[in-house]
Amino acid sequence: MMKIMMDTPMLMFDRFFDGAGWLQIILLAAYGAFLTQKMLDPSQSAVWRKRSWLLFSIVFFTQFALGLIADERFLMSGSLHMPAPFMIIAGSVYRGRMTIMPILLLSSIALSGPAWCSHYCYLGA
């Protein structure tokens, strides 16, 4: 939906190669399916949660560093901000328009409930 509705390229692959966002969507969907399969085993879910957060952290901070050092296309908008959950909703109310972050936050909460703060949120419970 984001790929179709947004004017600016929100997906990393689209920022470098026009139309390549679809490949990124496919790769991330495959990664999500793989991770889901691994997390279904209760004895292994803690291991895979740590691995997934480690990979996410490496990708996130590498992208952040590359955005500051190499090319600002690695940054989402070029302007840095603190993406705290309460600011995600407040920012949209202040601007008077819906953006991808409130949609992402609300859909994550709808799908995972209270697990969002303890599992997905980088600020933790």
pLDDT higher than threshold 70 for residue 35: yes
Q: Which residues contact 124 (CB under 8 A, 6 or more apart)?
A: 117, 118
Asked if 108 and 86 sit in the same domain, the reply is yes
**Which of these, 6, 2, 9, lies nearest to 72 by C-alpha position?**
9
Evaluate whether residue 113 is within a structural domain.
yes
Which has more confidence, 121 or 2?
Answer: 2
| Mean of per-residue pLDDT scores for the chain | 79
What's the structural domain count of the chain?
A: 2
The pTM for the full model equals 0.62
List the domain range (segments joined by +) for residue 19. 11-77
Asked if 100 and 69 sit in the same domain, the reply is no
Evaluate whether residue 52 is within a structural domain.
yes
d(CA 54, CA 15): 24
Tens of pLDDT, residue by residue over 43-91, are 998 899 889 988 988 988 898 889 889 988 888 765 555 556 666 777 7
Amino acid at 104: L
CA distances to 2, 85, 93, 102, 109 from 97, rounded to whole Å, are: 15, 17, 7, 10, 20
